[in-house]
Amino acid sequence: MKIGDTIWKWVDSRAHISDIPLRGMPEYALNVTYWTGAFLGAAFVYLVATGMFLLFYYRPGETTAYASTQYIMTQVPYGNLIFTSHQYMAYAMIFVVFVHFFRNYYLGIYKKPREVSWIIGILMSIVVITMGFTGYFLPYTEISVDATNVGIGLAKFIPTIGPLLASITFGNGTVASEFSRLLALHVVILPAILFILFGLHMYLFEQHEIAPPPGVEENAGKKSIPWFPVYLAYSAAVSFLLWGAVLIWSALKPLHLGPPAGSAIPVVPISEWYLAAYQKVVDFSPISKNVDYLLLGLIIFLLAVPFLDRNKSRAMRDRPFFIAIGTTNLIYLIIYTAWEYLQPGKNVAPIIWAPIMFGILGINLLIAYIFHFRYKKIGKSEEVPPA
């Protein structure tokens, strides 16, 4: 018997891991379109592990933050790889959150019985984006401080609670309080909230079979793959794929710190890519000051979507309104992000943004309803006439 088997048998005889009654997976789940959740779990683990390592050396503070980050990147063995991969993994996680979100949206996975999984997912995505934002400040470079100031400005626009939220998040205006608040949020408070939400997300996931592809019935008695050891090994392999890709990317394109804060070297005040679309809408006059109402409206719509989309069918052709709204937002996200990078901070008059915004919405509604009615017609003509 191999030594690995012997060790495993010993561990299992004491910990009874293989007896943990977790649900098996249907065969259709062994498919790349089902990988996004595993990627997100793997990214979270990686960020916590590398974040702990960075905390060994990082020293918050106006005079120490930049120098200690520079020290990690130039003096600590593998420090650059760990710092770079921490940042790239955060980017990857945010990107995959968008993919996971749109996948579940288009496939209607928010419908019964997964409404609460969906709502928790929305809350998790807000936490993940806020974690990225709070971490960006910590190296204290010119650009990271400028980007954080953009965020402070946006937070203050939030109706009623904005100024309070800004003072809780960023402190009393001194650099020292900004460091302590943002560090506490980034390394303790937000990860703890994410951990709890993730636990709930997984608990609910365990209660239902993984959502079948469209057209396949729930719990259709598909052949089940045991969670242990096959599905666990499969998920580990998917996780290693992400870790490997990010490590290779980090080795090929290591990060270099920009100029330190206060160095008066001009930098373009552009936020991180995942907030760039939002920043572009801030440039749309005269809605700039009301942009947080738009964001709030979008979040409320997303939280309510499982209750608004009453159609029992998950097929896209049966949900034209929701498909049009989803696609419109996806297109806004891509176009506005590119636009912000091409013309950062440039004011946009209503004569330009209004036709673009409403045009994209109109075209999407038109296409989605054409497909919906065409499909209905075809469905009818294919019906077998009564004998």
- Residue numbers of the site for ligand HEM (CB under 6 A)? 34, 36-38, 40-41, 44, 97, 100-101, 104, 109-110, 114, 117-118, 121-122, 124-125, 128, 198, 201, 205, 208, 210-211
| Distance spanning both ends of the chain, measured CA to CA | 68
Burial 127-163 (b: 16+ CB within 10 A, else e): bbbbbbbbbbbbbbbbbbbebbebbeebbebbeeeee
CB of 37 to ligand HEM, least distance (A): 2
- 187 vs 257, beta carbon nearer ligand HEM: 187
- 69 vs 327, beta carbon nearer ligand HEM: 327
Q: Measure the CA–CA gap between 157 and 183, rounded to whole angstroms.
A: 23
CB of 210 to ligand HEM, least distance (A): 4
Phi then psi dihedrals of residue 108, to 5 deg? 65, 35
- 86 vs 100, beta carbon nearer ligand HEM: 100
Instruction: Locate 288 and state its tokens.
Output: 């700039």
DSSP state letters, 61-85 = STTTHHHHHHHHHHTSTTHHHHHHH
- 41 vs 79, beta carbon nearer ligand HEM: 41
Give the dihedral of Cα atoms 190, 193, 198, 200; nearest 10 deg: -170
**DSSP code at position 225:** E
- 58 vs 118, beta carbon nearer ligand HEM: 118
Q: Measure the CA–CA gap between 122 and 206, rounded to whole angstroms.
A: 19
- 116 vs 363, beta carbon nearer ligand HEM: 116
CB of 204 to ligand HEM, least distance (A): 8
Cα Rg of the chain (Å, integer): 24
CB of 245 to ligand HEM, least distance (A): 17
Q: Measure the CA–CA gap between 99 and 92, rounded to whole angstroms.
A: 10
Instruction: Locate 182 and state its tokens.
Output: 């943002």
CB of 125 to ligand HEM, least distance (A): 4
CB of 5 to ligand HEM, least distance (A): 29
- 72 vs 109, beta carbon nearer ligand HEM: 109
3 state SS of 25: strand
CB of 145 to ligand HEM, least distance (A): 27
Angle at 369 between CA 367 and CA 375, to 5 degrees: 105
Alpha helix positions (H), the chain: 3-15, 36-57, 65-74, 79-106, 115-137, 142-157, 162-170, 175-184, 190-207, 232-252, 273-282, 291-308, 320-342, 350-382
CB of 60 to ligand HEM, least distance (A): 25
- 114 vs 372, beta carbon nearer ligand HEM: 114
- 295 vs 356, beta carbon nearer ligand HEM: 295
CB of 213 to ligand HEM, least distance (A): 10
